[in-house]
Every structure is written in structure tokens, then in C-alpha cells.
Structure 1
Amino acid sequence: MIETISVDGLEADLYKIFDYLHENPEVSWKEFNTTNYVVKIFQQEGADVITTFEDSPGLVAEIGDGPITVGIRADMDALWQEVDGVWRANHSCGHDAHMTLALGVFLTLKKIRTSLPGKVKFIFQPSEEKGDGALAMIEKGVVDDVDYLYGVHLRPETEVGNGKATPAIIHGAGSSIAGKISGEDGHGGRPHLQPNAIEVGADLVNHLRGIRLDPMVPYSVKMTKFRAGGNNSNIIPGSAEFSLDLRAQTNQVMTLLKDKVEKVLSAISNLYGVEINYKYTSSGVAAKVDEEAKDIMAEAIQQSIGAENVLPPSLTPGGEDFHFYSVKRPKVKATMLGLGCGLTPGLHHPKMTFDRKALIAGTEILTRAIMLTFKKNGFDMMDKCKGQTLYQR
């Protein structure tokens, strides 16, 4: 039988928090109201230390003290997308749920009212969607004292079924390029005088499709935006703007893919005699999962929802800047919980929805992961919590 810890009213608190965050989304680097809301909860419930930043949204809250520091990271930003014909901020990637889960862990640990044998650090990170939020937090030193770091991401129903979970998400590396083809416009009746930026773009797409790398490692590159021409159909456009999306399941293959893409851009520029300027607007790394952290998370899942609901690590071509923490700070032992929640139609879909009961299971899993982390390092919280239950289901 799975033992649970009864905390009166916490379910209602979690749903209230989620409803607010879901109804008040903010895009990358604009999460100031979200920051203030989360800070208020930490203040009301008595976090030991709360750190905010003058130059950006985001915050870090701490409880407990001791030789081991365990971090919980939650991303804060929403996407900007069209919903029912209106462009607006929208939480269609689950970051509202991730924040709720981190706050749920905090509220659980506070209401258990047991002393912690170490420090728990709650990292609320801005701008995951742009891929630069984790790097900014790393520069601020927020994980310099962190020994273990746990993240969480809702998973689509097709990947992790409702009521199940995986102890690690094996994200791939992802990069974005913004480019511009610069040339002179020409007369539609004299196509031989100037290069046509649309034809340059079409040839660029064809050459990108010809890139060949190790077929045993998933990778892709595709054009995701192309803008050229104006209102007059008899003008050949000389200039255009474009975006490229690059994906690779390993960091090594991403390095090779970038090199190939850059060579294609140079070759097309030389072939048509046009200037092609470009820059990387984001560059995420592939997952670096610590085996010890993964095993702890698997045990936490088993204790919370049963061994039959523990799935193997989830391999996905999606990207996550969470993995910068362990790549840039190799001493950090990190993994990301993949939480099954009946999520449909899919991540980033404007009508994304999921089973909110997963917020309860996810909070319990992450709380147990913290307890088990201390236990594995010789500090047993379990004995202090014996006879209590995290949640009654």
C-alpha cells in the first residue's frame, strides 16, 4: 500500500494557485506580476529567504539549512499565440502547472512542520520559451550551492499516460536562426537582372533538406518563417527575412548540424551573389541526466503512485533550457520528472488541456524526491514524517 500524508485543504490551495496562474499568463521576460504573486505566497507561508532581481523577473526562495541543498526549478513564461482569433499570452506549455507544483512542494513541506536536514531551494525561472532564462539564472549564481536539481514537465497523453510518470525526460538540443537575404528589387519583366529572394529561399530549403548526418541520431532542420515581396506582383523581391529551426538529439550532432547549415548558407550566398546575414536567436542543449537523481525520482514515483506507473525515461525531440543547469554546472545532479496528466491535444496547442488531479500526484512525487534525496545522503526525513500522509486519494 502507498502511504500518503494528509494535509487539510492543500488540494484546494493548489487548484486556486493554478487557476490564477493560468488566467494571468505573461510572456518571456515580462513575468513581473507572476513574480509578485509567487513572492506573496512565499512571504505569507514563511519562506526563510526570498531573493528577487532588479534587472529581471524571477525569484528564488529557500527553506531549511544543512550540508545538502536540493533545488526545485519551475519555468514561468507563457507563449504568445493566436487563441480563438485573438493573439495573446497563453499557458499552453504547462508552465502554470509547473509553478503550481513547485509551490505545492513548498506548502507541503511547510505544513508537515518537520525540520529539514538540508536546504530546499525553489527556483522560479523566466524565459524558458526563448531558451535564455536558465543561462541568466546561472549567471546570477542561483545553482552555485545546489547539489541536486529537479525539474518537471507535463507530458502529452501520447507520450506518458494519465496517472503515470517518468523519472527523466531526454530532451534534444534545439537552436533557432534568424536570417536576412539582402539584394535589390527588380522588374518582373527582366528577371535576369537581379536575383529573386524567393528563389534564393527555395534553393536554401532544398539544400538544407540535403544535409546528411548519422541516421542513428534524430536530427532535423527546417525553415519556419519566410517573408518577401510587397503589394505589387510585378516586382521581383531582392530581400527577404527567414527563420530556421534546428534539432538534434545529442549535443555532438547539433554541433555538426550547425556547421552544415552554416556551410549551406555560405554556398547559397555565393551562388546567387547575395548577402545572407544570420544570427542564432536561441541555442538549447540536449539533456544531461544524472543517474543518481533519476533513480531517486523513480523511487519517488513508485512510492507515490505505484511501481506499475513508473515508465522508462522519455525520449523527445523537444527542447528545454533546464539542461543548461547541469551542462554549465557539472556538479549539479539533475533530472526532470515527466508527469502524465491526460494532456491533449498537445503541448503548444492553443487549446491544450490536462487532468488537474495530476497536480496532486506531481506534488507528492516531487516532495518525496526531496525526502529521498536527504535520506540517500544520510539524513532521513521519512522517520520524522512517519504516520502522516502526503495526500488522501
Structure 2
Amino acid sequence: MTTALPLRQAVASREQFIDQTFQHLHANPEISWKEMETTRYLAERMRALGLRVTTFEDCTGLVAEWGEGKPVVALRTDIDALWQEVDGEWKANHSCGHDAHMTVVLEAVESLIASGYQPPGTLKILFQPAEEKGTGALKLVEKGVVDDIDYLYGVHLRPIQEMRSGHCGGAIYNGGAMFLYGEITGVSAHGARPHLGINAIEVAGAILSGIGQVHTNPMVPATVKMTTLQAGGESYNIIPDKARFALDLRAQTNEAMDDLVKRVKQIIEGVAVSYQAEISLEQGARMVAAEVADEAKQLMEQAIVDVLGQEKLQPAPVTPGAEDFHFYTVERPHIKATMLALGCDLQPGLHHPKMHFNREDLVKGVEIMARVVVKTFEKLQGERE
């Protein structure tokens, strides 16, 4: 029988395996909703540890469970890669760190088992697909697999501009994001007789000018930009009657996003009336802003201090980048959740095709995530006694 190791020693004993796990996942990226081999690999790893594994017939991803009953603490990692051009070739590429996130969560569970830990309740591990599409978390919510979770923890690598190697934060305050797609229908006419037409490009220009005048609370970051505009054809003497456009909206809070959407729609409705054009508007994907539980953040900070020391604990970063992890708490407000902000000198930046980082920081991330599990169960046990 293998002798249980102290947690730090258990993590240290797995350093070589941590790197091997990362290399395997990095070398085998799969894009959103097509993570079939990734799902198979993760399921095999979890079953080999003796965990109960649930996969799904209609989508990728899986849930693993260790222990029985309440309380329920959960770890979550995203598993998909981006589709982008790398050295002239379009391919799946882990340039957002999901390979690292999977590694941290997998190896945290491995390390807990190696330390002889037994959860006094249930530890759930969510291997979530399609984060890059913004729809994976909602799919797991729909399946009911998060309904019994008390505390939920995620992890995300931070760019060097936000956090240096060896430092961590107890939360990530992601902003919200939304896409709006519109189609303008005007009236086509000869270029010599513009008064007989309704120029869809001019209508789009009025929308662009209008959204530039949208003013929201200056204390809360919020922006709206027109990011796509398509109109006209190869005949340059025709007033175009059709145009398609897209708007990218960002806000640091969900309340600010609701206000921004309302104001943008008012602008577009006003332009339609002013130009006597028809403008249809469709809402695309929406990513909610972070809803961080103070209790979860404090536990994560305690785990960071235990591993790195007080001087390496950094303030939680505020970032305009979006993350679908936050759907869990918005859709199920009883869940107390936060994400580990893992400093690792990531550069040139997230989603850059040549993104790289200090892989030694993965070992620190593994121990922090393992310790926050232990601390959370201890807290919940104390509350029950």
C-alpha cells in the first residue's frame, strides 16, 4: 500500500507528470464542441483514479465525481482550443491557456489522491466544452450538473501585463460582452438620383455616429463599437439598399451592460425612423460579467498565501476580457465561486498564436487549487458542527 504524502510533497512528486500532462494536451488541441479526443482522454484519466465519470450523448465534456453526499465542492476547467492561423496554417491552437487549465485541475485531483485525502462530501470536476463560444457553461447548467454545488473554483492564466510569474490573485473580475447583428433595408436608386433612394451606407453611418454619443456611468467601463459593415456591390453607380453590420458591446458589470444595450437599441430605433429605413436587430452571444462570492475569494486567497506567501498575493485583476465561467453564478446564484488568477509571465498575450508562459507556475497552480479544495471542505464542515 502506497504511503500518503503531505500535499506539498505530493504535488512536488508529480512535477514531471504535470509537464507531461500539459505537453499532451497542448499537442492535441480541439475546437469548441469538437473536443472528442480530449473528452476521451480526460475520462480515461478520471476513471483510472477511481472517480465516477458522466459523459453526454449530445455534446463533448464530462463531469467526474469523488466522494459522496453533501457538501459539494467543484473544480472547473475549460477544454476547447481556438481556431487560428499559426505560421501560415489554419489550425486548432491552445493560445488561451485551456491546456494549462486542464493540467492544473487534473493534477490537483491527482495530488490530493496522492496525499491520501478523502473529501468529506463530494468533489466534482467539471470539464467544460466550448468556452470560446460562450455556450459551454450554459450547456452544463442546462444538464443540471451544477445544481447541487456549494463552492465552485476555476483558474485562468494571466498575461504578463496583469500579473508576473510567481504571483496570484484570488479572483478575476471579467467584464461582460455581447454581440448585436443588424440588417438595414433601404431603397435602391441610381447614383445620379440619390433623392429617390434610401442609402443603407448612410443609415449605417448614422448608427455609427449615434453609438459614439452613447454615454453611460463613467465610473463603470463600457464601450460599443461597430466591428463589421458590409454593403454595396461591384456597380459603383447604385445607391445600395442593403447593409449588414455587427456591434461589439463590453461592460464591466451586468447592470452596465443592460443599460448599454438599452441605449444602443434606442439609437438604432431613432435612426430607422429618421431615415425611414427598416433595421432588424438580432442579439448574438452574450457573456456575463463576473459575480464573485467574497467567501470563495477569501478561501482562494488563503490557499495562495499558504503556497506562495503573503507578499505574492496580488489584488484581483479587473479585465475587459469575457469568460463564460460566470454563467454558473448568474444562472445559479446559490453557488459561491471564484477563479484563480495565475501569474505566469504569459506573453505576447492571450489568443496570440505564439502565446507562451512560464510552465513552472503550473506546479504552483496545482497546489493552490488542491489546497482551496481542502480549505473549503474544512470551512463547510465547521459550519455544520
TM-score, structure 2 length as denominator?
0.93
Provide the aligned length of Structure 1 versus Structure 2: 378
Which of residues 22, 26, 33 is equivalent to 1:22? 26
Which of residues 269, 278, 283 is equivalent to 1:280? 283
Q: Decide whether aligned partners of structure 1 residues 248 and 62 sit closer, same or farther in structure 2, where only a CA change above 3 A counts.
A: same
| Alignment match, 2:50 | 46
Q: CA deviation at 1:12?
A: 2.3
Q: Which amino acid aligns with 2:237?
A: N
| Alignment match, 1:382 | none
Asked if residue 317 in structure 1 is aligned to residue 320 in structure 2, the reply is: yes
Q: Distance in 2 between matches of 1:5 and 1:123?
A: 26
Alignment of 1:120-135 (within 5 A): 120-135=123-138
| Alignment match, 2:3 | none
| Alignment match, 2:240 | 237
Q: Which amino acid aligns with 1:290?
A: A
More off after superposition, 83-92 vs 100-109 = 83-92
Asked if residue 217 in structure 1 is aligned to residue 220 in structure 2, the reply is: yes
Extract structure 1 runs of 4+ deviating beyond 4 A: none
Asked if residue 32 in structure 1 is aligned to residue 36 in structure 2, the reply is: yes
Q: Distance in 1 between matches of 2:204 and 2:102?
A: 41
Q: Decide whether aligned partners of structure 1 residues 187 and 358 sit closer, same or farther in structure 2, where only a CA change above 3 A counts.
A: farther
Q: Distance in 2 between matches of 1:276 and 1:80?
A: 32
Q: Distance in 2 between matches of 1:35 and 1:237?
A: 48
Q: CA deviation at 1:73?
A: 0.7
Q: Which amino acid aligns with 1:22?
A: H
Please state whether the residue corresponding to 2:195 is helix, strand or coil: coil
Q: Distance in 2 between matches of 1:373 and 1:302?
A: 15
**1:320-346 Cα distance to aligned partner (Å, 9 max, x none):** 111111122111111111110101111
**1:329-369 Cα distance to aligned partner (Å, 9 max, x none):** 11111111111010111112222111111111111110000
Q: CA deviation at 1:196?
A: 2.5
| Alignment match, 1:99 | 102
Q: CA deviation at 1:65?
A: 2.2
Q: Distance in 2 between matches of 1:91 and 1:105?
A: 20
Q: Distance in 2 between matches of 1:171 and 1:46?
A: 35
Q: CA deviation at 1:66?
A: 4.2
TM-score, structure 1 length as denominator?
0.91
Please state whether the residue corresponding to 2:76 is helix, strand or coil: strand
Q: Decide whether aligned partners of structure 1 residues 198 and 19 sit closer, same or farther in structure 2, where only a CA change above 3 A counts.
A: farther
Alignment of 1:314-353 (within 5 A): 314-353=317-356
| Alignment match, 1:139 | 142
Asked if residue 302 in structure 1 is aligned to residue 305 in structure 2, the reply is: yes
Please state whether the residue corresponding to 2:8 is helix, strand or coil: coil
Please state whether the residue corresponding to 1:4 is helix, strand or coil: helix
Q: CA deviation at 1:41?
A: 1.3
| Alignment match, 1:160 | 163
Q: Which amino acid aligns with 2:304?
A: I
Please state whether the residue corresponding to 1:223 is helix, strand or coil: strand
Which of residues 202, 205, 224 is equivalent to 1:202? 205
Q: Distance in 1 between matches of 2:277 and 2:294?
A: 49
- 2:170 and 2:297 in contact (8 A); partners too: yes
Q: Which amino acid aligns with 1:347?
A: L
Structure 1 stretches of 5 or more lacking a match? 380-393
Please state whether the residue corresponding to 2:165 is helix, strand or coil: coil
Q: Distance in 1 between matches of 2:193 and 2:183?
A: 23
| Alignment match, 1:117 | 120
Q: Distance in 2 between matches of 1:87 and 1:228?
A: 28
- 2:10 and 2:111 in contact (8 A); partners too: no
Q: Which amino acid aligns with 2:167?
A: K
Which of residues 371, 375, 381 is equivalent to 2:374? 371
| Alignment match, 1:389 | none
Q: Distance in 1 between matches of 2:333 and 2:339?
A: 16
Q: Which amino acid aligns with 1:74?
A: T
Please state whether the residue corresponding to 1:56 is helix, strand or coil: coil
State percent identity of aligned pairs: 50
Which of residues 75, 78, 81 is equivalent to 2:81? 78
**1:282-304 Cα distance to aligned partner (Å, 9 max, x none):** 11222111111111100100111
Q: CA deviation at 1:185?
A: 4.2
Q: CA deviation at 1:184?
A: 4.6
More off after superposition, 81-90 vs 259-268 = 81-90
**1:117-150 Cα distance to aligned partner (Å, 9 max, x none):** 2211100111212222111111111111111000
Q: Distance in 2 between matches of 1:3 and 1:101?
A: 14
More off after superposition, 53-62 vs 185-194 = 185-194
| Alignment match, 1:384 | none
**1:152-200 Cα distance to aligned partner (Å, 9 max, x none):** 1111111111110000111122111122223454433333332332222
Q: Distance in 1 between matches of 2:240 and 2:27?
A: 43
Q: Which amino acid aligns with 1:14?
A: I
Q: Which amino acid aligns with 1:327?
A: V
| Alignment match, 1:388 | none
Asked if residue 266 in structure 1 is aligned to residue 276 in structure 2, the reply is: no
| Alignment match, 1:385 | none
Q: CA deviation at 1:8?
A: 6.6
Q: How large is the RMSD of aligned CA atoms in angstroms?
A: 2.0
Q: Which amino acid aligns with 2:14?
A: L
Q: Which amino acid aligns with 2:179?
A: S
